[in-house]
Amino acid sequence: MLEETGLDKGYSLDGIITVVERRSFTALRHTLPNILAQIDTADVIVVNKTDLSTPEQVAVLESELRALNPRAEIRRAVHGRVDLDLFGHTGRRGLHGVMDMCRDPHYSSDFIPIPGDADLAELRAGVLGHANAILRAKGFLRSAGKTWYLDYSTTGISLTESPLPTTATPGLAVILRGDASAHARAWVGALKRGDAAAHKPVSTAATSARVAFIGGFLGAGKTTAIRALAALARTRGLRPGAITNDQAAELVDTDVLRRAGLPVREVAGACFCCNFHGFAEAVRGLIRDDGVNLVLAEPVGSCTDLIATVLRPMGTELGLPVEVAPVSVLLDPARLDDVRNAAAGPASWAMRFLLEHQLREADLAVLSKNDLHSGQVQQAAADELRDRAPQAAILSVSARTGAGMESWFDFLLSGRPMATPLLELDYDQYAQAEAEMGWLNARAVVRVATPQPGAALAVALAKALQAELARQGAVIGNLKLELIAADGTVRAGATSTTAEPDVEGQVAAAGRFELVLNLRATAGPEALSQTVAAALDQRLRTGGDTAVLTFLKTFRPAPPKPTFRSREAKP
Ligand SMILES: Nc1nc2c(ncn2[C@@H]2O[C@H](COP(=O)(O)OP(=O)(O)O)[C@@H](O)[C@H]2O)c(=O)[nH]1
Ligand SMILES: [Mg+2]
């Protein structure tokens, strides 16, 4: 650049300082090669905003940076404050082969001059309403005789009173993502034309939304993660909503998310791909009626081929401006042996087939429940993922403790890598694999003669079901039940016959409960019904205790017949 502009006649390049911020680095490193090039060419790397991260997070980031560029000196800073000796640095390095990356097609930038009085509240709402499309917005603005500095990034939005620097023009500099919707681009265009309507907030009805698929096998932790991701979304000024999906109605998941205060739509009766129109209507409803601008969609745990059957058709069939976030696929490290196929038999074959294909579609492979697994197990699982999902970024998280969740969330706000290929999938085998598990959804009213604490009863019922399934030699995909009493709800779940059931929530001792049960296991529909009857009977046979079924549906999933299936090589 110095040579191109002739500046090399009067100046020489002494050293390159790269400033890094943890959140955007984590979010963008896999999609924006520039970032890695910036690290690679640096003589000094300043890790800024360290006050927003824990010391452990900063240390992890530093070790990553060190691995990318072992030669650079790394400094920590808050608000960009660094010692001036930084600028006395000599140790010039070359700039070979990286400058052409500076023009990145995944992003575009624009400056919107706003010379007159800006309506700050509406401008702020406008930026947040398009938060999905905007990577960064900043600028000085005039309002009511004062000047303000607006700053929006992945860390959030701030508006502070600030003097106008003599060199600054009032207005907003905006970096848009390459996948920004036409609506977001039109908003920028209207602002540039000084169109007052463009300042109007989009707070009641969202006009553009980001759709994030949180996939993975039965019981991997998708619903729990969606709840945690939604909580993070709210702290960042987004309005999250969820779509649950199942082959039958009466879902514990829908209830769990509604109780967390999320707008939820349920696509029941078929997976997203086989009921694409139901899925599309759920997305439209969340955006139109609930003002949602981040849709967290949970596909059925035995589902795969999402890119061809759901993501691609969304681009043409939805009729709404949406941006698709990187696809997340969760893997519980407890299923590591299933991926590796340590065991034989049709159930293991089916599980491995589905797990393998799901992972091949991941932009981000997420190892879940890291609070339950040793570092060694997590490492082994990460190694396995590198083989099974070489295209994916890998992250280890716990929705329960919050570990890794912010990095995941940041990743969801970044652009989708274009590299993930369409899945090669034999639909006959796929149908066979899905049908290996039977499904049972039930609802019952449980009455106990002596009032019992909800948690104890939930665990006892879960254990009775586990024992009954173990006796039949069945493998559990996911077992979850909910006991709803007058003063609250408890849930118990298990993803194998041997694990101690996981319990959540509390209710005081009660004599009447509503039971909602979702069970997926390698047994036929008839056997599953009998299992439930036997478990309830065994648990409740003492005098006066009863369970009356009010809803029961059991079946094996029918062969998948997607509404659409794109086979085009291009997105
Ligand atoms: N210890 C722990 N348990 C989790 C975590 N995430 C989910 N679970 C439990 O794993 C089971 C399955 O989780 P769920 O979110 O329903 O999985 P899904 O079927 O993939 O939606 C439930 O019993 C959850 O409470 C986690 O981060 N840590
Ligand atoms: Mg779920």
Distance from C-alpha of 299 to C-alpha of 544, rounded to nearest angstrom: 41
CB proximity list for 60: less than 8 A, separation 6 or greater? none
Question: For residue range 81-137, what is the model confidence (pLDDT) as tens digits?
Answer: 887 776 655 444 444 334 344 445 567 788 888 888 888 888 887 887 777 778 888
| Region 8-21 average pLDDT | 77
Atom of ligand 1 nearest to the CA of 401: 27
Which of 175, 199, 223 lies at the terminal end of a domain, its last residue?
199
CATH number of residue 464's parent domain: 3.30.70
Residue nearest to atom 2 of ligand 1 (CA): 369
Same domain, yes or no: 11 and 40: yes
**Separation of 360 CA from ligand 1 center, angstroms?**
22
- CA 256, 258, 259, 260: dihedral to nearest 10 degrees? 90
- Alpha-carbon distances, residue 528 vs 305, 437, 462, 477, 518 (angstroms): 28, 10, 14, 13, 11
Domain identity same for 376 and 517? no
Q: Which of 14-23, 35-44, 98-107 has the lowest mean pLDDT?
A: 98-107
Report which protein residue has its CA nearest ligand 1's atom 3: 369
pLDDT at 152 over 50: yes
Is 564 inside a domain boundary? no
Q: In this structure, are residues 558 and 426 in contact, taking their beta carbons and an 8 Å threshold?
A: no
Helix (H) or strand (E) holding 211: strand 209-216
Is 117 inside a domain boundary? yes
* Alpha carbon of 362 to ligand 2 centroid (Å): 18
Whether 396 shows a pLDDT value over 80: the answer reads: yes
412 and 471, same structural domain?
no
Q: Which residue has the higher pLDDT, 278 or 187?
A: 278
Domain membership of residue 177 (yes or no) is: yes
Query: In this predicted structure, which of 77-91, 111-125, 160-174, 458-472 has the lowest mean pLDDT?
Result: 77-91
**Statement to judge: residues 373 and 515 lie in one domain:** no
Which residues, judged by CB distance below 6 Å to any ligand atom, belong to the binding site of ligand 1?
216, 218-224, 253, 301, 368-369, 371-372, 398-400, 478, 480, 493, 495, 502, 504
Q: What average pLDDT does range 504-528 have in this prediction?
A: 93
pLDDT at 6 over 80: no
Percentage with pLDDT > 70 across the chain: 87
- Within a domain: 562: no
Model confidence band, residue 35 (pLDDT cutoffs 50, 70, 90): confident
Residues 546, 549, 551: CA angle, nearest 5 degrees: 165
* Average of per-residue pLDDT values in the chain: 85
Last residue of a domain, one of 50, 68, 102: 102
| pLDDT at position 3 | 62
Q: What is the mean predicted confidence (pLDDT) over 43-70?
A: 88
Please report whether residue 567 resides in a domain: no
Nearest atom, ligand 1, residue 252 CA: 16
Per-residue pLDDT, 252:
85
> Domain of 424?
209-433
Atom 6 of ligand 1: nearest residue by CA position: 221
Q: What is the pLDDT of residues 294-346, one digit of tens each?
A: 999 999 999 999 999 999 898 788 877 788 899 999 999 999 888 886 666 77
Q: Which ligand is nearest to the CA of 334?
A: 1
Compute the distance from residue 219 Cα to the ligand 1 centre, in Å.
Answer: 6
Ligand nearest to the Cα of 215, by number: 1
- Considering the domain architecture, whether residues 245 and 387 belong to the same structural domain is answered as yes
Domain boundary among 77, 102, 127: 102
Position 250 pLDDT exceeds 70: no
Helices (H), 417-492: 427-434, 454-471
Distance 238 CA to ligand 2 centre (A): 22
pLDDT at 4: 59
- Are 490 and 473 in a shared domain? yes
Ligand positioned closest to the Cα atom of 370: 1
- Angle, alpha carbons 436-555-356 (nearest 5°): 30
How far apart are the C-alpha atoms of 38 and 17, rounded to whole Å? 9
Written as six digits, the tokens of 405 are 């969740």
Domain total for the chain? 4
User: Measured in angstroms, how far is the CA atom of residue 481 from the centroid of ligand 1?
Assistant: 13
Q: What CATH number has the domain bearing residue 10?
A: 3.40.50.300
pLDDT of residue 203: 39
Whether residue 200 is predicted with pLDDT greater than 60 in this model: the reply is: no
Nearest ligand for residue 404 CA:
1
Choose which residue among 224, 245, 377, 459 to substitute to test ligand 1 binding: the one with the highest number of ligand atoms within 8 A of its C-beta.
224
139 falls within a domain: yes
pLDDT at residue 1 is higher than 60: no
Which atom belonging to ligand 1 lies closest to the Cα atom of 502? 23
Neighbouring CB atoms inside 10 A of 140's CB total 20
Is the model's pLDDT at 2 over the cut of 60? no
Question: Atom 12 in ligand 1: which residue has the minimum CA distance?
Answer: 219
Q: Is residue 205 scored above 70 in pLDDT?
A: no
What per-residue confidence (pLDDT) applies to 286?
93
Residue 195 or residue 43, greater confidence: 43
- CA distances to 238, 275, 320, 414, 427 from 314, rounded to whole Å, are 22, 13, 9, 18, 21
Q: Mean per-residue pLDDT for 278-299?
A: 93
In the prediction, which pLDDT does 91 show? 47
